[in-house]
Structure 1
């Protein structure tokens, strides 16, 4: 009996000792794989591959007039919207806003350049179809509240790529978009980030010299100023929610709107400068939450928007406004790790290439009551730095570790502390 007890005791001791060693070895293996250095050109190719994979089914079918025929209509639990009236505009508006900076780059003869040219051509055709009442893919701007949201992403598309995606449109298509945007004024949205949607659409009309509603712009700007809670975080309405809406919507749309209103002397430059500094500070948080393995925390509403969680970080990088202690290459490498985790495999796509409900796989119960297939194309907003040309230092600098990778491997890291703006 004593020998048996001694034998099992030694076995238990071995398990206690070996398991942590094996766990640490597994962790080190993951870190080593994540640490495999790639060139900026390789990283860019990874981004292009992922964004094209996401975009192609929507853009190609919209151009062909078959989006409504081909796009699946998967919805979250207890979904409460009339899906056929809202989901298609969601897909087109959100995806286009993410594609816009990349499609704005000039043509070239590289493989990437050829993909970009093809996608731009199809999207321009698709945009004409989207506002043509005689086309099978005519999109609904005229009823329901949800189009207030996705018309704003459509307006943001034109703001981000005016020469590539607005100016080439024929006069009739432009007129139709303007009419669709103005038609939104007979509805009101929620008392939260939705104020920015209404404001940005009106801001676009202001930008192009069309008649606009100043009250919708002014109200959005004033409420967002009131809802600032400190250290780069805005409350989404009167009560704060811990989620990614500061990146999905608030920082990018507020900065874009203030850029217009400042140019048109509707608001003060100090307001734009302040909003930009707050977004830059927020980008520090975004970069810090990316783990050494290229994962990030799953919390809050709308996590099925996936890489849209990094829109604000991407916009700051695109504007070349990253803080001095955050090198462009470390943002590139961190986001590349996230993109590989999300899109290298098939887990987030169905058999025909459409995004599926979930965070990193088909996980329908993670979707919100307002989430459908079209909603998921918010993910494209995480790819804004592709608007930086391939010879920009974001893509040409040598690979660099990002903050959490430095911290977890014992490297020096700048201490973080709150900032008041």
Structure 2
């Protein structure tokens, strides 16, 4: 069944003609729904194609690589979607998708065409898109490659051969080269085998355990665990996805043991990754390239395709259908059926400088499951509930340094981040909100305005200087991640411009996360004497240590809304509580527990990808922070509890000795969590 002519993507998502509420009791979606969505998305981009279809020039701001690159990106990434759609169903192609993209391949490699693709030596970004074209050609071999004229095939080989030995970045980009060369080898073209060997070797070096890769090292650092700090969605949609798809493309040429090694690692990753999706289908908002949206489904589908998942087939489909349905219902496709730069609505602040109008179609990886035939259990088994739909979830992800908690009552997943922050650990730097915040969630987003980047508040514990400017956190240093406790430390610093920073004291922050409640602790310790510089910090990049005094502020979750949510206050002068709540009952609360007697709320417009306005509650010291003292607050994001009830009877006991401070968090049911806050 294909989508009716003119039927919108939103209509397809809710069309009962595709639905099966018996087999898919959570989403109603079937393989027919997925196919119809793919067909509609592919049809929607056609009006933006150049003559001959070599480029798809979608509307929107250009990337740093320019419009020619962006047009190639539009072609390559939608071709990947077409490939997944055709792989198992190429004989059923009423919209002539195969022929349409075959025309584009011919035009893009025609040196005489004004729309020819840039040589791979000309443009870095073209190397990314080449890998998508190679993968798509492999998946559509009977329907496209085998039917192309010999001169066109030779032109494609000639163009792709520019990947042999070409420069690529020392991260997931190594696999763009390897995947391309796997296809070249399959058609008898020469390759540089060393490129593939390097991709495999470096990927093994970046594996930190428990299913997690760092997306390359921080540059110029001595090899070791400390230089592996880059944890985000690239772990799934690149570092797990490409090596296994390389094995699929390489066949008998795949290196011995690679497939089994990658399958075991992916299986371990998915055991944890299933906890990072909310009951409403919202994935975690953390890391770069968030405009790729449901591309985060790529490792889940890869798990099913390569028999590398601990999830039963019905859970894989329920999770995947839930995620895509969530995005479709919340407007990720505009009135023309196009994906825009944003999360739900268009939101340009979410883009990186490499993001162009075609970039969101990296989400095509989220349709990889269509390579599985209609009789595969992932399509035929009944949907199974996600973990957070069955019970509260608690998980400790040691590799990235995340303490995770999901609550069944509201379907919210949140985590405390005390691990990698994608930063050079040797020197101070600017904060990137998608990495530097203390907490991330499926239901709240880091604030992305210029003001929020320069002066962070949400999910941040900061020292405020005399002008009220908050300190920056990156780089942070992991101290402990165990059970439901995470502890990290950073050297407070303030940007002076021109990559120079004013240094301040050390801030040690701890999170104890149980259910919806985070008990956040902090201790501030004096820095070295004025005029000195950290040994690991370049003297050219810093000024002498700031003189102080400073106040300490705990920022809560940002709550997004279409309208400005109302502020509520409660508590006592010594333990203030401030919160905001939306009409759907989701609320953000911060309550002072120890030493934090000031409170307030900050509003912003156009800072949050989840809504037009946002509000962040906070608590702070009224006067200067005391070195060596323990400060504490309760920080809550919940659809069930808010305000004064959020503290839930939590109490603290504090013991200070010569070697530091121990804080014992006592919960209302009598359970306790001891936390060390030691000096640097």
TM surpasses 0.5: yes
Which of 129, 151, 154 pairs up with 2:107?
129
Q: CA deviation at 1:156?
A: 1.3
Which of 4, 7, 31 pairs up with 1:44?
31
Q: Trace 1:221-260 onto structure 2 (pairs within 5 A).
A: 221-238=200-217, 239-259=228-248
More strand by share: 2
Query: Following the alignment from structure 1 to structure 2, what is the Cα–Cα distance between the partners of residues 54 and 281?
Result: 33
Equivalent residue number for residue 118 of structure 2 = 140
After superposition, what is the alpha-carbon deviation per residue over 1:70-99, rounded to whole angstroms, capped at 9, x for unaligned? 522424xxx5x2312311222222232233
Residues 1:333 and 2:318 are matched in the alignment: yes
After superposition, what is the alpha-carbon deviation per residue over 1:296-337, rounded to whole angstroms, capped at 9, x for unaligned? 1111010111111111111222334432xx221121112111
Query: Following the alignment from structure 1 to structure 2, what is the Cα–Cα distance between the partners of residues 37 and 257?
Result: 36
Equivalent residue number for residue 387 of structure 2 = 403
- Aligned to 2:71, the other structure's residue is in SS state helix
TM-score by length of 1: 0.78
Conserved? CA contact 2:55–2:104, under 8 Å: no
Residues 1:120 and 2:98 are matched in the alignment: yes
Conserved? CA contact 2:292–2:363, under 8 Å: yes
After superposition, what is the alpha-carbon deviation per residue over 1:99-143, rounded to whole angstroms, capped at 9, x for unaligned? 3232022456xxxx455x532332222222222234454222341
Query: Following the alignment from structure 1 to structure 2, what is the Cα–Cα distance between the partners of residues 159 and 277?
Result: 24
Q: CA deviation at 1:182?
A: 1.3
Pair 1:251–1:186, CA change in 2 (3 A): closer
TM-score by length of 2: 0.50
- Aligned to 1:373, the other structure's residue is in SS state coil
More helix by share: 1
Q: CA deviation at 1:380?
A: 0.9
Q: Trace 1:176-215 onto structure 2 (pairs within 5 A).
A: 176-185=155-164, 187-215=166-194
After superposition, what is the alpha-carbon deviation per residue over 1:374-395, rounded to whole angstroms, capped at 9, x for unaligned? 1111011101112222232222
Conserved? CA contact 1:97–1:153, under 8 Å: yes
Query: Following the alignment from structure 2 to structure 1, what is the Cα–Cα distance between the partners of residues 337 and 201?
Result: 42
Q: CA deviation at 1:259?
A: 4.7
Which of 77, 94, 102 pairs up with 1:94?
77
Pair 1:186–1:327, CA change in 2 (3 A): closer
- Aligned to 1:120, the other structure's residue is in SS state helix
Equivalent residue number for residue 343 of structure 1 = 328
- Report the RMSD for the aligned CA atoms in angstroms: 2.8
Conserved? CA contact 1:287–1:403, under 8 Å: yes
Which of 336, 349, 363 pairs up with 2:347?
363
Query: Following the alignment from structure 1 to structure 2, what is the Cα–Cα distance between the partners of residues 272 and 256?
Result: 9
Q: CA deviation at 1:164?
A: 2.7
After superposition, what is the alpha-carbon deviation per residue over 1:200-241, rounded to whole angstroms, capped at 9, x for unaligned? 212221222211011211111111111111111111111321
The number of aligned residues is: 366
Unaligned runs of 5+ in 1: 1-35
Query: Following the alignment from structure 1 to structure 2, what is the Cα–Cα distance between the partners of residues 391 and 184?
Result: 37
Q: Trace 1:50-129 onto structure 2 (pairs within 5 A).
A: 50-58=37-45, 61-62=48-49, 64-65=51-52, 68=55, 70-75=57-62, 79=63, 81-106=64-89, 113-115=92-94, 118-129=96-107
> Which one has the largest radius of gyration?
2
Pair 1:147–1:306, CA change in 2 (3 A): same
Query: Following the alignment from structure 2 to structure 1, what is the Cα–Cα distance between the partners of residues 380 and 97?
Result: 25
Pair 1:197–1:66, CA change in 2 (3 A): closer
After superposition, what is the alpha-carbon deviation per residue over 1:126-165, rounded to whole angstroms, capped at 9, x for unaligned? 2222222344542223411111111111111123332233
Q: CA deviation at 1:267?
A: 2.4
Q: Trace 1:298-317 onto structure 2 (pairs within 5 A).
A: 298-317=285-304
- Aligned to 2:208, the other structure's residue is in SS state strand
Conserved? CA contact 2:55–2:108, under 8 Å: no
Pair 1:162–1:169, CA change in 2 (3 A): same
Residues 1:277 and 2:264 are matched in the alignment: yes
- Aligned to 2:266, the other structure's residue is in SS state helix
